[in-house]
Amino acid sequence: MSISRTLLGLLENEPSYGYTLKHRYDELFARTKTLAFGQVYATLGRLERDGYAEVVGVETGEGPERRRYAITTEGVAELDTWIRTPEPATAFAQSTLFVKTTLALLSGRPPREVLDAQRGVHLARMRELTKARTRADDIDRLAVDYEIAHLDADLRWIEEASERLEHRDRAKNKGNRP
């Protein structure tokens, strides 16, 4: 999901310490999992190396250095093209659910169990989200709606796949009884 460009985006708003950046990121984007500190500093190092960010002040006030980072003009340019360039539309082509279902089919395991199990956790999350949705502000609601839309898509696909596989089984059994 490109942590590095996201952090660059936050840096554009205001120069920050890695520490602050981490918390800002969590507030905005960490709905399920927070960012690790280690990753922030590693990423900042790469951004600096690539000329997209620079240190604009080191406070060595007895203790660990506090280094404030700012975005550079090249950084702004890079961020700009990243934001403007759409993601490849093939992002949904690889799905774990599909792989598991396929492998189940290939190996003689009942794919129904795979699909049913996934439906279970999806429905639970769905209930959670619809509850959360009512007390969400507008930007949060955008995020919640995004997730709901894709859970819904997954659930629809699960139904359809279940039906189609069942249908196929019935056809096969019919053929086996002469």
Partner DNA sequence: GACGACTATTCACCCGGCGTATAGTCCTCG
Partner DNA sequence: CGAGGACTATACGCCGGGTGAATAGTCGTC
Residues 6 or more apart whose CB falls under 8 angstroms from that of 169 comprise none
Stretch that binds a second copy, among 15-23, 27-35, 42-50, 55-63 (CB under 8 A): 27-35
173 sits in the region (left: phi over 0; alpha: psi -120 to 50; else beta) called alpha
Partner from DNA, a second copy, none binding residue 101, C-beta < 5-8 Å depending on class? a second copy
Q: Please tell me whether residue 46 binds DNA under the rule CB under 7 A.
A: yes
71 sits in the region (left: phi over 0; alpha: psi -120 to 50; else beta) called beta
Sheet holding 16-17, edge to edge: 16-17, 66-71, 53-59
Alpha helices in 50-110 (DSSP H): 73-84, 96-107
Which of 9, 12, 15, 20 touches DNA (CB under 7 A)? 20
CA atoms within 13 A on the CB side of 143: 13
Q: Please tell me whether residue 122 binds a second copy under the rule CB under 8 A.
A: yes
Q: Please tell me whether residue 13 binds a second copy under the rule CB under 8 A.
A: yes
Of 128-167, which residues contact a second copy (CB under 8 A)? Answer: 138-139, 142-143, 145-147, 149-154, 156-157, 160-161, 164
Please tell me the distance from the alpha carbon of residue 4 to that of residue 35, in angstroms, as a whole number. 12
Beta bridge partners of 69: 16, 55
For residue 135, the 8-state DSSP code is: T
**CB contact at 8 A, 100 and 114:** yes
Which of 15, 31, 42, 132 touches DNA (CB under 7 A)? 42
The least distance separating a second copy from the CB of residue 58, rounded to whole angstroms, comes to 26
> Which residues of the shown chain bind a second copy in the complex (CB under 8 A)?
1-2, 6, 9-10, 12-13, 28-29, 31-33, 79-80, 82-107, 109, 113-114, 117-118, 120-122, 124-126, 138-139, 142-143, 145-147, 149-154, 156-157, 160-161, 164, 168
Binding site for DNA (CB under 7 A): 1-4, 17-20, 33, 36-39, 41-43, 46, 50, 61-68
